[in-house]
Amino acid sequence: MKELTTAPVGSPSTFLNFPLALDLDALAADIAILGIPYGLPYHVNERANDQSLAPDALRQASVDVDYTVNHFDWDLCGPLLAGKDVRIVDCGNVTTVLGDDEEHYRRAEAAARRILDGGATLISIGGDHGIPIPVMRALERNEKITLVHIDAHLDWRHEINGVTEGYSSPIRRASEMDWFGDIIQIGIRGIGSAREAEVADARAYGADIITAYELEDIGMQAVLDRIPDGGPYYLTIDADGIDPTIMPAVMAPTPGGLSWRETHKLIHGLVNKGRVLGMDLVEIAPSYDVRNLTMIYAERLICNFIGATVRAGYYD
Amino acid sequence: MKELTTAPVGSPSTFLNFPLALDLDALAADIAILGIPYGLPYHVNERANDQSLAPDALRQASVDVDYTVNHFDWDLCGPLLAGKDVRIVDCGNVTTVLGDDEEHYRRAEAAARRILDGGATLISIGGDHGIPIPVMRALERNEKITLVHIDAHLDWRHEINGVTEGYSSPIRRASEMDWFGDIIQIGIRGIGSAREAEVADARAYGADIITAYELEDIGMQAVLDRIPDGGPYYLTIDADGIDPTIMPAVMAPTPGGLSWRETHKLIHGLVNKGRVLGMDLVEIAPSYDVRNLTMIYAERLICNFIGATVRAGYYD
Amino acid sequence: MKELTTAPVGSPSTFLNFPLALDLDALAADIAILGIPYGLPYHVNERANDQSLAPDALRQASVDVDYTVNHFDWDLCGPLLAGKDVRIVDCGNVTTVLGDDEEHYRRAEAAARRILDGGATLISIGGDHGIPIPVMRALERNEKITLVHIDAHLDWRHEINGVTEGYSSPIRRASEMDWFGDIIQIGIRGIGSAREAEVADARAYGADIITAYELEDIGMQAVLDRIPDGGPYYLTIDADGIDPTIMPAVMAPTPGGLSWRETHKLIHGLVNKGRVLGMDLVEIAPSYDVRNLTMIYAERLICNFIGATVRAGYYD
Amino acid sequence: MKELTTAPVGSPSTFLNFPLALDLDALAADIAILGIPYGLPYHVNERANDQSLAPDALRQASVDVDYTVNHFDWDLCGPLLAGKDVRIVDCGNVTTVLGDDEEHYRRAEAAARRILDGGATLISIGGDHGIPIPVMRALERNEKITLVHIDAHLDWRHEINGVTEGYSSPIRRASEMDWFGDIIQIGIRGIGSAREAEVADARAYGADIITAYELEDIGMQAVLDRIPDGGPYYLTIDADGIDPTIMPAVMAPTPGGLSWRETHKLIHGLVNKGRVLGMDLVEIAPSYDVRNLTMIYAERLICNFIGATVRAGYYD
Amino acid sequence: MKELTTAPVGSPSTFLNFPLALDLDALAADIAILGIPYGLPYHVNERANDQSLAPDALRQASVDVDYTVNHFDWDLCGPLLAGKDVRIVDCGNVTTVLGDDEEHYRRAEAAARRILDGGATLISIGGDHGIPIPVMRALERNEKITLVHIDAHLDWRHEINGVTEGYSSPIRRASEMDWFGDIIQIGIRGIGSAREAEVADARAYGADIITAYELEDIGMQAVLDRIPDGGPYYLTIDADGIDPTIMPAVMAPTPGGLSWRETHKLIHGLVNKGRVLGMDLVEIAPSYDVRNLTMIYAERLICNFIGATVRAGYYD
Amino acid sequence: MKELTTAPVGSPSTFLNFPLALDLDALAADIAILGIPYGLPYHVNERANDQSLAPDALRQASVDVDYTVNHFDWDLCGPLLAGKDVRIVDCGNVTTVLGDDEEHYRRAEAAARRILDGGATLISIGGDHGIPIPVMRALERNEKITLVHIDAHLDWRHEINGVTEGYSSPIRRASEMDWFGDIIQIGIRGIGSAREAEVADARAYGADIITAYELEDIGMQAVLDRIPDGGPYYLTIDADGIDPTIMPAVMAPTPGGLSWRETHKLIHGLVNKGRVLGMDLVEIAPSYDVRNLTMIYAERLICNFIGATVRAGYYD
């Protein structure tokens, strides 16, 4: 069923010009990139949002694959793929139908299942923070996954305006899936949609909430040490978890977020603690960028994740 | 049924700070302003569009009512209301429900009917060019209305992606309503969604299509003279009919549009030829404005329409 | 008394790099440029306004004098000075003292008197539309001057907040000076601070008010023909009289203003009808410019005025 | 005497939509917000400055009170008011009269006295750094206040152009008031109006000047430890004390300022060391903002101050 | 010799996605589009200029070919190709070698000769106004071509800094080629590099110089009537000949240029007077665009030229 | 031979308005500033690049010398020159000739030799990172210089497109000069033109490569400690070595660069370890600045370098 995803437009039309792979049933990949543009809206004026432009904007902002693959990357201390034969594909964007918002989620889950079932590491690009919900559902398995969540916000709302799978709910939804165990939430700060009840729920569940201020006091290495060893892990990154001076293209810029050096340490540290099954990068609103910085940081973030998994021997 | 419309936000929250009137059943007004934010999307990424921001953006850009009502307006050669007792209200924005795109049109039609049935002149602010469709349906009557249409595009498509009441179809939809007779389309130029079949249909109907180039050659007075006398009229203005140097905040800027002086002559000339039942101003995309010019021109356009109707004795 | 004016800063520091002449008592010039930055404020938040930045901004935006003086100017059909020996100086900016707003006007009038008494044509750069008041006072003489006024607004207010010499009053103030006779006001449109009483006063005085719409209908040559022959003239140009698409850097952009071709015809036509004693260009708010267009147009406007006076034999 | 302050305009018109309280004699508040737009100018072109736009710009940028008061704020580890009954009002902006610059200071002092005498914590929003002078004068009492000053600049000038209460002098003025004792100046760096004499004066007074570089070396906790315990304190924050990457909307961006995490630690640490009588946030120049970051940080800063005082039991 | 041109990058990579044709020896086309990025610099800081970005920027800004070819274009009163079988190709950009500026011209001439010798109409996209020189050289033939030139500037300089084929010289260079006869220069205004000597030379040659002001007085139809009938013609359009409100992305915006409606009439009128062998559009500096207007106008201009030649039966 | 350099234009036309010194043979200076605008291009579209605008842009952005020299600079804990008699001059910009790219380097080397031979500390402002090559060549001497290099990139490419002295090669070129010994490279991160071979070469040479991540872990003081003591040193700073949030005006913004506080510590630490013969600041692309931050930081960086050398007794 090829129709789950569609080819992106623009130039480059795929992330770093990696090969396009729309036939998910025939997928042969170590790493798969998947655009999931649409969350579930809370209000009519969110039916289409700026974040839905991010998958293609990020692809178009990406530099060419020869450069990135063959040149020396000092974030990785070597070329992206470290001379290994690693198969990376871009699976395009999940499709949808007009008038049935949930169908996009169903297709996203189906696409993610195909990719994950084939053994590939999945890199999902949102879209808002609702889109990890179908991805996390596709991660269904008989072992417990540790969820690592970078965000300014807690995202434990049960529902808003009757919608239970919108961008304020992904961590609560994960907490309800049997295959998620420990939850670590990093960079939390400022105000979001959470009220005291949600905070109580998160704490009752056992979520390890590390505010930006605690992070400042203890350092990222200590944060890494608090994440249970072994894995497997899933990493969900809300762009507003990163500091708005370096990722300004978000809807809710909040002071005090992760620096790039902190982010770099987290990604490499986590990938080396155990298998990270996939990651997503969500809530980039391209129209609000300043000097293209958000896009540059986003590409670096994804390349660091790819390069770290390669070096950790995921595909050997 | 007050719930048809809701109060706008921002400051000013109503156009020129005219009184807010949400109880449409109890409406007592000569002129009513109505925001209709949402058209029917052709693609999922049009579910919310920039044009839906226009009603409130236009209100917030409007200057204060004391200034506008009491000072001398040289576009009108006197104060806005010419010293007469004219009741102008802002009825707020038509509401909708999440997940049922057509409901917004149903409410728009209901709101417009209430306003028009009360005898008020209706000024609708879009939204895209789909929103005149429910308004024109609400104009149902036993006499023929002459439709005057300012646009770069013909808007005679029957359907796109199965949607028959989207922004490419309003003039065809009008042509199918028994209460519309002559159709005059002014400022047409460049390329739109029309193919040769639609042009043939428009011509078969008898639409008088006056391109921007013919307008340049004959002048706006000659255009006015070609509009059948007597009325009643309905005036629908797509912002991209106006030249993009003066209304840059549109999705499809097209060179050669109406100048302000041409627009001024058309509005005053039409209002004096006969009763104009209402007008709409659609397809303003506020995010794309330059130096706030589009908003300034939009306010002038509406004030000229109001002032012209007052001077033509509509409310005496 | 050299202290009436001070050297501008920036680069170029004088208009077109013409020589700086601060010693007004020793002035030997055919044409003198004078910056007058400060009007009289109506509100505390107008104590300094963006228009006060215009004299130096306009100088800094001007191209070099060699280019402008020696190259062929098609607006003039020849080089700026037509090969004649014409002395042009920049007298810098009128000074002021902190805490006495009126002192700036007193110095502006004194500076203008020295320049005009020496026989030079005076080109004043504002500042807001209050600054022509001291200039017009300095024009005191025993003959009647015809005032030609380009503006969107009438500027006949007697006072606002007790201030009688602010930017809404210059034409009324001129009407009270014995040495002004006919007043022609061109490009009037939209709403300003005028109420019906002021319009009545202007009409009672005999002001010939030519709206932008009448100008469109009759053309600029007919406007020129309506200006009484012979002179002398004084020309005051509010930048918002020009269309905001070509001079966007104004506080009150108003659609329908003079095009450049209309402006060109007016300047050359007027200068050739009789002696124009001086002109001012006011109400440019540099911070609001788009693509530097306002500054480019302003320089062209002044160069056309200079070149026209040279060709009309003013300095032979 | 209600006329000391006036209602702000815009939407929201008060900070976070807290209730407006213009009758200062009848004030019943725990925390009062006060806009003081105008400093004393050194030059005529500073008579009105961009900073005077900050009080209303900051209010209009603030999010709604329901959200801020009821949702969980991770900067505070709970809702803004921690479930307590704390009365917060916005007292509007201090008024002035045209032509008497000092009158604004007299009214600011009178307004501040009324607020402080009623026992409320005062949050003043400038305006430039002259505006704390009347506020600090209103703090007159029989105990010594410790002044904590965040800034890039020293602000110990005695006078400039004869003006002794302008934006370069507030700390020297405080040093002359009997009711100020210890002075701690944090984040000092780069060049300002200070010469060696002023630095000598500050040091002779005993001011504890902590440059940004010393702060980097010792950390904010050590800075807090150096502030004498007990209080009472007054906190004056020049926005250019904060790093210009996070508060770009200042007149003199200077590299190396306080990070948000440092600012957060300082505010909470200080409020918990003893009673902070009030704070001001000055020198925001809204026109220079980038991606609205300055406004977002300013709101966070004030909310952190409010929330910290609530948690420290100031109003129990 | 395929190496004369190279494939453009970006998306779309060809104008309107027309087929790419790099093998000029095997060219089978009715209309060929050719990018010529580099002129000959006068100064070292012009070695690469913003205009060299225009060919690809214009291609990337162009809309898709299906839309443009199949939809009804009201500028043409029908679809672009009027249902005819017309072969349009994009030949990419002329190549060059580092360190030999003239080689680019040699290749441009060679490429243009191959295209023209094959009978195709050539549409060249600059680059600055030097690039028509090799194109015009490639037009060599035994009949006289009438040169129609739209520009603010005269472009009759013999040399600047020793360079004789730079952007100030194309019309003089044309005047020296035996195969150019009448020269009509339209829209001339303001100041350029011309001095009186060059104007004298142009007039001595017999160039018909029609300033923007004469155009305003007589109208474009009269201008068309003054162009000798019969052809063949070559049309060179400097973007600054068009009014800067509609084509702001030029290095020397000059008020009073051609309106779109005037441009439309000129293109269609000229194409119908006789065979136009080719046209170029030069001096677009993409970095200076406002709201993408220049790019939109440029595409319209080229489509109008294409559509006009199709309707005039050039390829029947 | 005065013609090696030429006076900059603009205002101020020299850095901080220091005296202009074009006669390099008669130079009597302790510190000399030299603009070197042009590198050697790799591609034709780099023949002139945005970086070539930086020397004059940086001068024009600099504040006045009185302010900077006489006021107290907290980065230095005293006035810039610490009351000493230090002679600082601006030698203008190195000239070139059209059509011979290497001549600019030859003149740059000649100018640098004259300045350095006279004993002055040389501050070079690029231009791209090719321009230190002639400067480093002019440093020829019989002792080993330690090269300290701040950059995101390694810059060890031998050649690109046949060009061996372009912006990717300065450190390799230095490694080949007998007078350079130890090389320390700080802030390296992300991807550049280096491949594994170049990294191997750099390591074989013994370059001490300190990535941004190692810097984060060990701190700048430890970095300083790793730089061999004694000197002499040469400091080359690529603006993209600094974090793009504080120096956004670079061609390749790369996350994780040096903070200002780190930069401050490095400059002062290095200058005090031994004699720094000169420094350069390259790769600023002024057109890409945000809120003028890059220019402000650049000026601070140079002033800190000047002030540090003064305090270290270089000129006593």
Dist. CA B298–CA B95, nearest whole Å: 23
User: For chain E, how big is the Rg over CA atoms in Å?
Assistant: 18
Tell the residue number behind the tokens 């109880």, with chain if given: B23
For E47, which of F48, F161, F163 is closest by C-beta distance? Answer: F48
Chain D residues in contact with A254 by the CB 8 A cut-off are 296, 300
Taking one residue from C and the other from F, the number of pairs with CB-CB distance under 8 angstroms is 9
Statement: residue A1 has pLDDT above 80: no
pLDDT in tens, A230-258: 989 999 999 999 999 999 999 999 999 99
**Given this model, what pLDDT does residue D1 score?**
47
Nearest to C98 among D38, D41, D48 (CB): D41
Distance from chain centroid for Cα C235: 6
Residue B189 has pLDDT above 50, yes or no: yes
Instruction: Answer whether D66 touches B (CB < 8 Å).
Output: no
Token code pair at residue B247: 């209304």
F105 has a pLDDT exceeding 60:
yes
pLDDT digits (tens, 9 = 90+) for C187-225: 999 999 999 999 999 999 999 999 999 999 999 999 999
Q: How much of chain B exceeds pLDDT 90, in percent?
A: 89
In tens, the pLDDT along B160-177 reads 999 999 999 999 999 999
Q: Does D250 touch chain F (CB under 8 A)?
A: no
Selected residues 101-160 of chain F with any CB under 8 Å from a CB in chain A: 152, 154
Distance CA C153, CA C161 (A): 19
Spatial CA neighbour of A111 closest among A265, A4, A253: A4
Classify A176 as helix, strand or coil.
Answer: helix
pLDDT digits (tens, 9 = 90+) for A161-186: 999 999 999 999 999 999 999 999 99
pLDDT tier at A217 (50, 70, 90 boundaries)? Answer: very high
Nearest to E191 among C67, C259, C292 (CB): C67
Which residues fall within 8 angstroms of residue C41, CB to CB, at 6 or more apart?
A: C47, C49, C101, C163, C166, D47, D48, D98
Q: Do E253 and C290 make contact, defined as CB atoms within 8 angstroms?
A: no
The 10s digit of each residue's pLDDT in C77-120 is 999 999 999 999 999 999 998 878 899 999 999 999 999 999 99
Counting Cβ atoms within 10 Å, is residue A229 exposed (0-12), middle (13-18) or buried (19+)?
exposed
Residue F139 neighbours by CB distance under 10 Å: 22
Is the pLDDT assigned to residue E232 strictly greater than 80?
Answer: yes
Q: HSE of F294 in the Cβ direction (CA atoms, 13 Å)?
A: 29
User: What is the structure's pLDDT at B72?
Assistant: 96
Q: Which two tokens stand for residue E204?
A: 């001595």
Predicted confidence at residue D67, as pLDDT, reads 82
**How does residue C59 score in pLDDT terms, banded at 50, 70 and 90?**
very high
Asked whether residue C74 carries a pLDDT value surpassing 80, the answer given is yes
3-state DSSP: chain D helix, strand, coil percent, rounded to 5? 40, 20, 40
Chain E residues near residue C259 by CB distance under 8 angstroms:
256
Cα dist from E160 to C75, E130, E134, E155, whole Å: 23, 12, 18, 11
Q: Which of D192-206, E61-75, E154-168, F21-35 has the lowest mean pLDDT?
A: E61-75
C-alpha B131/C-alpha B105 separation (Å) is 7
Q: Does any CB of chain F come closer than 8 Å to the CB of residue D288?
A: yes
SS3 D159: coil
Q: CB of C98 within 8 Å of any CB in chain D?
A: yes
Has residue E146 got a pLDDT over 60?
Answer: yes
Residues D104-109, mean pLDDT to the nearest whole number:
97
Encoded tokens for A183 = 């939850």
Mean pLDDT of A207-228: 98
DSSP-based three-state secondary structure for E298: helix
pLDDT band, very low/low/confident/very high, at D9 (cuts 50, 70, 90): confident
Q: To the nearest whole angstrom, how far is the Cα of A306 from the nearest Cα of chain F?
A: 14
Distance of alpha carbon B200 from alpha carbon B195, whole angstroms:
9
Touching F: which chains, 3+ CB pairs < 8 A? A, C, D, E
The helix (run of H) or strand (run of E) holding residue C105 is helix C101-117
For residue D209, list its beta bridge partners: D185
- Contacts of residue D154 in chain F, CB cutoff 8 Å? 72, 74
* Chain D residues with beta carbon closer than 8 angstroms to that of C128: none
Residues of chain F with pLDDT > 70, as a percent, come to 99
C311 confidence band (pLDDT: 50, 70, 90): very high
Q: Using a CB-CB distance cutoff of 8 angstroms, which residues of chain A are in contact with residue E60?
A: 11
Q: What is the DSSP string of F231-268?
A: EEEEEEEEGGGB-TTT---SSS--TT-B-HHHHHHHHH
pLDDT at C2 over 80: no
A159: closest CA of chain B, how far (Å): 15
The residues that bridge with F160 in the sheet, in sequence order, are F163
Q: A179-183, D11-15, F4-8: which range is least confident on average? A: D11-15
Question: Does C288 reach chain E within 8 Å, measured CB to CB?
Answer: no
| D68 contacts D16 by C-beta, under 8 angstroms | yes
Q: How far is C44 from chain B (nearest CA, A)?
A: 20
pLDDT in tens, E83-99: 999 999 999 999 998 87
Cβ contact B253–E296 (<8 Å): yes
For chain B, give the mean pLDDT: 95
Q: Which residue of B has its CA nearest to D8?
A: B11
User: Distance (Å, rounded) from C-alpha A305 to C-alpha A43?
Assistant: 34
Query: In 3D, which of D4, D51, D47 has the Cα closest to residue D25?
Result: D4
C189 chain-B contacts, CB cut-off 8 A: 74-75
For chain F positions 32-61, those within 8 Å of chain C (CB to CB) are 60
Considering only CA atoms, which of E179, E162, E159 is closest in space to residue E170? E159
Which residue from B minimizes the CA distance to C209?
B74
**Chain F: nearest CA to C64, how far in angstroms?**
12
* Among the partner residues D188, D193, D290, nearest to F74 by beta-carbon distance: D188
Contact in structure between D184 and D227 (CB atoms under 8 Å): yes
Q: In the Cβ-directed half-sphere of B178, how many Cα atoms lie within 13 Å?
A: 4
Q: How far is CA B147 from CA A220, B186, B276, F33, in A?
A: 67, 11, 10, 71
CA distance F207 to F201: 9
Give yes or no for residue F1 having a pLDDT over 60. no
Residue F2, pLDDT above cutoff 60: no
Question: Could you report the per-residue pLDDT of B213-232, keeping only the tens digit for each?
Answer: 999 999 999 999 999 999 89
Chain F residues inside the 8 Å CB shell of A67: 191
| Per-residue pLDDT reduced to its tens digit, F171-223 | 999 999 999 999 999 999 999 999 999 999 999 999 999 999 999 999 999 99
Q: Give the number of other CB atoms < 10 A from CB of residue D124.
A: 29
Dist CA A247 CA A254 (whole Å): 10
> Hey, is the C-beta of A212 within 8 angstroms of any chain D C-beta?
yes
CA–CA distance, C28 with C32 (Å, rounded to integer):
9
Quick check: B45 and A41 CB within 8 A?
no
DSSP string, F150-216: E-SS----S-BTTBSSSTT-HHHHHHHSTTEEEEEEEEE-SB-S--HHHHHHHHHHT-EEEEHHHHH
Q: C294 to chain E nearest CA, in Å?
A: 10
ipTM value: 0.95
Within an 8 Å CB–CB cutoff, is residue F196 touching chain A?
yes
Chain E residues touching residue B288 (CB < 8 angstroms): 291
What's the whole-number mean pLDDT along residues B75-88? 96
Strand partners, F234: F147, F278
Q: Amino acid identity, residue F259?
A: S
